[in-house]
Amino acid sequence: MSLSQPPRFSLETAHAILRDLYGIDGTVSLLPSERDQNFRVDSGEGRGYVLKIANRAEIRAMLEAENAAIERAAASGVCPMVIAAVDGSHIIEFEGHLVRLITLLPGQAMGALKRQSPALLADLGRALGRLSAALAGFDHPAVHRDFHWDLAKAEPIVAEFAGPAPVQKLLENYRRYAKSLLPELRQSVIHNDANDFNVIAGPGGECVSGIVDFGDMVFTHTVNEVAIAMAYAALGKPDPLAAMVQVAGAYHSEFPLREAELEALYSLACMRLCVSASLAAKQQAARPDDPYLGISQQPIQAVLPRLAAIHPRLACYLFRHACGLEPVPWSPMLTSWLRDNQHGFASIVEGVDLTRDAAVTHLDLSVESPLVSGDLRRNAPQPLAARLVARIRQAGGILGAGGYDEARMLYAAPEFQGNEPFEETRSIHLGVDLTLEPGTRVCAFAEATVHAFEDANHPLDYGPVVVLEHDAGPTKFYTLYGHLSRASLAVLRLGQRLAKGEPFAAIGTAAENGGWWPHLHFQIVTDMLDVACNYNGCALPSQREVWKGLCPDPNLILRIPALSRESRKPGVRELAAERARKIGSNLSVSYGENPVQAARGWMQYLYDADGRKYLDAYNNVPHVGHCHPRVVEAGRGQLAVLNTNTRYLQRQLTDYAEALTSTLPPELSVCFFVASGSEANELALRIARSYTGAKDLLVMDAAYHGHTSTLIDISPYKHEGPGGHGAPDWVHKTPIPDVYRGMFKAQDPRVGHQYAQQVAEAIDRIKGRPLCGYIAETCPSVAGQILLPPGFLSEVYGHVRKAGGLCIADEVQTGFGRMGSHFWAFEAHGVIPDIVVLGKPIANGYPMGAVICRPEIARAFDNGMEFFSTFGGSTAALAAAHATLDVTLEEGLQAIALAIGERLLAGLRAIGHPLIGDVRGSGMFAGVELVRDRHTLEPADREAAYVARRMRERGVLLGTDGPWHNVIKLRGPLQWTEMDVDALLAAFAATLAEL
């Protein structure tokens, strides 16, 4: 169709058409369109329409076809409806133009969203599937046309363009893998242009409200419908293939794809982008000064090389898996053949019977294995090999084996690099590793042909590889041998026949194997994907099942008893289901539907069971770092010697009490040790009551002090929340001195005094009843990472003491240098509490709590009733606590907290996103309060939850808190580096930019 200029009617004319011809009144505004003229119409009753005035060149038959298709698809609920004019017609003529009115779909174009989530992509797939189902059997003469956007006509267009290498590669792929399948593909009328500006995302952006603009409809291969949507879905995504998989799997759930369609799908999707690039190149040649042409092609140019690097069969296997089909169709056949014929296989290690029970020790190198160190330097080949050999000796075996389907962190980058939004790394090991001496000869398990081996001109960084091809069984397949000796390959020839059991190469040294410990990597491969030797030995966790189909368990050939005995580890879903059955359900799990399965910690990092690394910005218990070796050693050493209770004299108890009190003001000199923060707060209350003989307690709003019945009573965060029963009469709540959101603001020079006055008033209100005391966190955490204003605490302590009460500082969250400026948070306020409560970080995760008070208070507590806590201050707890304190002091973690905290707070303030209402904190105790409006301070709770979820996806674990759940809480182990801060800031800014 040759196009004339798009129509240029005025808003008044559009309004008149609506009023006179459709009997509709409303506000009219112009919508962008290249070919036609479209007006958005908002009628009074909240209904919306689009008035479409077609290009003069438009033929009526095509519009009739569109209308008929829309009518046909109406029941699928995925497209707008055509509104009849007053005269009953669905197409009217106005000054030589054909005019239609359709309903306006709620939402906005998917292409205008800042981010297209996986949920949205899946909904797009489902919507298109429903559309395909609705259009099945539909036909109209106008859509049988020769159209350059018909994918069936793509090949000559792309060939003529002779574009850059990726386009050539994708064209070649199309010719090799898709073209011959065309006769097998179903045909029907399709929409033919589900690009993301023709897809309307519903409010919230997580679902599709419909697909518009049927002007490109054509009768062609049905699968092109989803292929086109996939092509555009890939654009601008961190993982384009994953986006395509998302759409394809969801499409299949509504409109099942057939084998041939699945096989052709990837190449067809890529061809759509090639056609776009080809046509744009042509237009650009004709209109070299039009900058828009180049800009609109940028996302396509960016994605083409990435798509060209993916083998269409791999894409097909991924699509199949997403569709719930066997990813590699012939893999199960091969697997059962191997199982059935095992007895006839030869050992692949010369002179070793691997099937003999005692010969082989299982070596677990998964992320959760103690054989692997969290300290990646200790996984260097030499120390790792030494540990593996020691383990084999200890087990009395000859060699070690393991590794199939194992998530490994051995390949992780040493530093956190969370500034890339897509962080998945290949961690799932696909072979079995056999730990063997260099020089050990390896053999073919059955007759074989040498398919490929490392070309000496292109050495692989992990050492020489040989691939053998096997013709036996239901299908051709391969075995891959890695980490060989280069010299041993000197006489090998491509195509060489090997007999069953024939040795053909030897194990290499670490030096020629990229430094890895001497071992054989043995892998079965069902599809080499046109790779000679450099085949993936590890897979991305998200592609795990597909790669397991491509590379079945090597133990089908090896038959190592120790490996057959290994029970499969449950995955996240199974664990979550089991937890739901066995564990009380009000112990919630973070990240709801998609929880993190924690498998390892190291310093400021956590790893999940897939080996994915996260920066820990949430946990303050591992104060000196997850699994800090000095704490681990202290605890382990003590557990091996003595771990008993405090009824016996133990040097460790008094040593630690001495060390701990030396960090506190001299008045605070008597310690009690317990096993948790809750136990410590309980004890603090008992002590205060003994001393004062009173019960009434002042608490701070939104406080949390622990999970026991009494502590729920003094924790408004709990007793005022869901399931709570309010405060008993002896608990008196005082306002949170929140200088951002509270009654008095930071700008008020007397803000601390103002809030302290409210405590004084609360004391006045309970006059007549004796006061036991006042308890508060020195920096309220669940209240939203609040910093108390200057002067507040000292005035409050004055009021409380005047009324005869004791001042209890809950330093469970804030002690031990976290605040950066001071070792204890109360020191920043120039006060000395009467009782200090410690917990969480005190022993870096070993259960421990402490109460420290003045001697006369401790004496009053000794009223005849014994105090004893079985686990409190047990020997191993003291060892862990003492090591934690030593590390904190010797590694200068308070100073690190200060420097890192300053960088973090400054970086957060510099982001300057409108949602950021307040950035506050001290050291590594920080909060970012998100608000929708800086004047009303409307809490942005959904946004905060979004940030937490997306930051996790970007590799950072953090929490949300505050009474309105709108404060991002940052408080990780005190081991962060500047790189960690910068990575967090980049991820945080990128996440906010999506909102």
Binding residues for ligand PMP (CB under 6 A): 676-678, 681, 704-707, 777, 781, 810, 812-813, 839-840
Quick one: CA dihedral 787, 789, 794, 795, positive or negative? Answer: negative
Closer residue to ligand PMP in complex, CB, 58/777 = 777
Element (H, E) at 794: helix 792-802
Smallest distance from the beta carbon of 953 to ligand PMP, in angstroms?
A: 26
Closer residue to ligand PMP in complex, CB, 526/813 = 813
| Residue 403 phi, psi dihedral angles, 5° rounding | 120, -15
Helix axis angle, 259-286 relative to 224-233, nearest 10°? 60
Q: How far is CA 963 from CA 422, 539, 588, 702, 783, in A?
A: 32, 43, 18, 7, 6
Closer residue to ligand PMP in complex, CB, 361/715 = 715
Taking the C-alpha atoms of residue 13 and residue 224, their distance in angstroms, rounded to an integer, is: 39
Closer residue to ligand PMP in complex, CB, 73/783 = 783
Taking the C-alpha atoms of residue 443 and residue 352, their distance in angstroms, rounded to an integer, is: 11
Of residues 410, 459, 456, the one with CA closest to residue 433: 410
Token output for 455 = 């070309």
Taking phi over 0 as left and psi of -120 to 50 as alpha, with beta for the rest, 928 belongs to beta
Closer residue to ligand PMP in complex, CB, 646/676 = 676
Q: Could you give the residue ranges of the DSSP H alpha helices within 834-937?
A: 855-861, 875-890, 893-911
Taking the C-alpha atoms of residue 199 and residue 716, their distance in angstroms, rounded to an integer, is: 47
Smallest distance from the beta carbon of 705 to ligand PMP, in angstroms?
A: 5
Smallest distance from the beta carbon of 677 to ligand PMP, in angstroms?
A: 2
Residue nearest to ligand PMP (CB): 677
Element (H, E) at 201: strand 199-201
Smallest distance from the beta carbon of 886 to ligand PMP, in angstroms?
A: 22
Closer residue to ligand PMP in complex, CB, 195/785 = 785
Taking the C-alpha atoms of residue 445 and residue 558, their distance in angstroms, rounded to an integer, is: 8
Closer residue to ligand PMP in complex, CB, 810/834 = 810
Of residues 857, 855, 704, the one with CA closest to residue 780: 704
DSSP 368: T
Smallest distance from the beta carbon of 248 to ligand PMP, in angstroms?
A: 45
Q: Do 787 and 738 form a contact (C-beta atoms < 8 A)?
A: no
Closer residue to ligand PMP in complex, CB, 163/963 = 963
Taking the C-alpha atoms of residue 570 and residue 590, their distance in angstroms, rounded to an integer, is: 19
Q: Could you give the residue ranges of the DSSP H alpha helices within 327-380?
A: 331-341
Closer residue to ligand PMP in complex, CB, 812/881 = 812
First to last CA, the chain: 41
Smallest distance from the beta carbon of 783 to ligand PMP, in angstroms?
A: 10
Smallest distance from the beta carbon of 819 to ligand PMP, in angstroms?
A: 14
Taking the C-alpha atoms of residue 254 and residue 398, their distance in angstroms, rounded to an integer, is: 54
Q: Do 301 and 236 form a contact (C-beta atoms < 8 A)?
A: no
Q: Do 426 and 538 form a contact (C-beta atoms < 8 A)?
A: yes
Closer residue to ligand PMP in complex, CB, 130/719 = 719
How many H helices and E strands in the chain?
28, 39
Closer residue to ligand PMP in complex, CB, 224/678 = 678
Specify burial of residue 911 (Cβ count, 10 A radius: 0-12, 13-18, 19+).
middle
Closer residue to ligand PMP in complex, CB, 777/795 = 777
Smallest distance from the beta carbon of 822 to ligand PMP, in angstroms?
A: 17
Smallest distance from the beta carbon of 679 to ligand PMP, in angstroms?
A: 7
Closer residue to ligand PMP in complex, CB, 700/803 = 700
DSSP bridge partners of 101? 51, 83
Smallest distance from the beta carbon of 916 to ligand PMP, in angstroms?
A: 25
